[in-house]
Amino acid sequence: MASPCQIDRRHLAALLALGALLGLLAAAPAAFADILTPEDGGGSPPAERTDVLYEITLWMALPIFLLVEGVLIYSLVKHRFRRGAPEPAQVRGNTRLEIGWTVGAAAILVVLTVITLAFLPGIRDPEAGGAQRAGAVAVAATDQPDVPPGGPSLNVRVVGQQYIWRYDYPGPGRLFAYHRMVVPTDTTITLDITSQDVQHSFWIPELFGKADAVPGHINDMWFKVTEEGVYRGNCAELCGENHAQMIGEVEAMSPDRYRAWADRQRSDIRTAARALADQRRRMQAQQGAGEGSLLRQ
């Protein structure tokens, strides 16, 4: 067993190492918050505002973190056992001090709560333009007369299933897409999110936070992209063995390109549906009604 003197020095070194580690840890989150500082997020308000809120939280928490860990480490070093030192004063508490830090902690958290509650509606509820979501009119449906006040909006129904996302667009004619949601830029996109089997969670980190897709329920989320681009996100709720492969994408393109895409997609769907109907008729003719019922929807 080493002599007490050496133990002391070892302790000191260890404590300093611990301090350095903690300092490093504290400095790191600011540098690494990629999703929460979405510099390439296309300016989607929910993500941007979440980022602001996160940074407020972080900058309030960081000094507290450093202070508390600092005091902890300081007291470990300063008040470590020294040979021949008298027994420490038997302090049992200090009411004023304790009430002080209770109130202090409460005050900080109250401030944080107020800030959070102030931010919450702006992140959760769509901006003007998405407000009348129920009657929202797709910009793509150019034949529709009234665009709601406050700017264009589009309502997309997002349906999760093992292990892919489907996006149903409103408007005349069937328009839907799998895996990649195409949206026009500068448009408030409101999402009605649900699932048809197990629970999923729809999440494009650079555009908006998670919205769980719960079967039997309709959840909502919104976003608005200003820059063209493709944004990717994983399903975030364990949904079965291929959960890791359930990826969703949002592609933002200018309204003109979007309209072109929508028209092409609609006509593709029509063509495919006709081909399917033909095939069904042929099979029914060949095999008779009994087995044909297998194809009944």
Partner 1 sequence: MAVVTQSADALTDRAPTGLESLDVRKLGMWAFLGSECVFFGSLISMYFVNRPLMFSPALEAAHLTPKTILNIPFTGVLAFILLCSSLTMVLALNAMQQSRRRAGSFWLLATAFLGMLFLGGQAIEFIEIAHEGITLQNSVFGQSFLLLTGFHGTHVFVGIIWLLSCIPRALRGGFHAGNYIGPEICGLYWHFVDVVWVVIFTIIYLI
Partner 2 sequence: MAPGGNMAQRDTHSNPGVGGPLGGHGDNVEHASHPTARFYVLIFFILLAVTIAEVFVAQEPFLGIFEGIGVPIAVPLLILAAVKFLMIAAFYMHLKQDSRAFSAFLIAGLILAMGMLFTFGGLFTAHSREPFDQIAWREQLAQNAGTTGTSATTGGGGH
Partner 3 sequence: MSTAEYRAQEGTIDPGRIAERARPQIVERGLRARPGGWLGWITSTDHKKIGVMYLIATFMFFVVGGVEALMMRLQLGAAQNTIMDGQTYNALVSLHGTTMVFLFVVPVLAGFGNYLVPLMIGARDMAFPRLNALSLWLFVFGGIVFYTSLFFTPPEAGWTSYAPLSDDAFLPTGGIDAWIFLVHLTGLSSLIGAINFVATIHNMRPKGMGFGRMPLFVWTILIYAYLLILALPAIAAAVTMLLTDRHFGTGFFDPTAGGDPLLWQHLFWFFGHPEVYILILPAMGIVSEVLPVFSRKPIFGYSFIAYSGVAIGFLSFTVWAHHMFATGLGDFANGAFATGSFLIGVPTGVKIFNWIGTMWGGSLRFKTAMLFAVGFIAMFIIGGISGVSLASPPVDFQQTDTYYVVAHIHYVLFGGAIMGMFAGMYYWWPKMFGRFLDEGLGKVHFWLTMVGFNLAFFPMHWLGTEGMPRRIYTYFPDMGWNFWNMMSSVGAYILGISVMVLVGNMIYAYRRPREEMPDNPWDAATLEWATTSPPPAHNFDAVPVVYSRYPLWEDRHPVEGGQPAVIAAAAPHTSIDERSHPADTQVAVGEGESNAHLATVEADHGEHEAGHAFHLPAPTIFPMILAFGLLLIAFALLFSPPILKVTFLITGVIYFVVAIYGWVKQISE
Contact criterion met (CB below 8 Å) for 99 and 107: no
Amino acid identity of residue 131, one-letter, is: A
- How many whole angstroms from its chain centre is CA 240? 20
Cβ at position 63, least distance to partner 1 in Å: 22
Q: What angle do CA 148, 152, 154 make, to 5 degrees?
A: 100
Given the complex with partner 3, which of 46 and 152 has the nearer CB atom? 46
Given the complex with partner 3, which of 16 and 244 has the nearer CB atom? 244
Would you tell me which residues interact with partner 1 (CB under 8 A)? 89-98
For the record, the structure tokens of 39 come out as 């510099």
Amino acid identity of residue 155, one-letter, is: N
Residue 243 interaction partner, one of partner 2, partner 1, partner 3, none, beta carbon < 5-8 Å per kind:
partner 3
- Cα–Cα distance, 198 to 163 (Å, whole number): 10
Would you tell me which residues interact with partner 2 (CB under 8 A)? 159, 161, 194, 196-197, 215-219
Cβ at position 195, least distance to partner 1 in Å: 19
For the record, the structure tokens of 28 come out as 């790191």
Cβ at position 91, least distance to partner 1 in Å: 6
Residue 144 interaction partner, one of partner 2, partner 3, partner 1, none, beta carbon < 5-8 Å per kind:
none
Given the complex with partner 3, which of 187 and 194 has the nearer CB atom? 194
Residue 178 interaction partner, one of partner 2, partner 3, partner 1, none, beta carbon < 5-8 Å per kind:
none
Cβ at position 219, least distance to partner 2 in Å: 8
Given the complex with partner 3, which of 247 and 283 has the nearer CB atom? 247
Given the complex with partner 2, which of 114 and 218 has the nearer CB atom? 218
Q: Are strands 219-223 and 188-195 parallel, antiparallel or unpaired?
A: antiparallel
Cβ at position 281, least distance to partner 1 in Å: 36
Cβ at position 250, least distance to partner 2 in Å: 23
**Burial (0-12, 13-18, 19+ Cβ within 10 Å), 235:** buried
Given the complex with partner 3, which of 86 and 145 has the nearer CB atom? 86
Establish how many alpha carbons lie within 13 A of residue 3's alpha carbon, considering only the half-sphere containing its beta carbon: 3
Residue 161 interaction partner, one of partner 2, partner 3, partner 1, none, beta carbon < 5-8 Å per kind:
partner 2
Across the beta sheet with 153-161, the strand order is 175-178, 164-169, 153-161, 188-195, 219-223
For the chain, the distance separating the N- and C-terminal CA atoms, rounded to the nearest angstrom, is 80
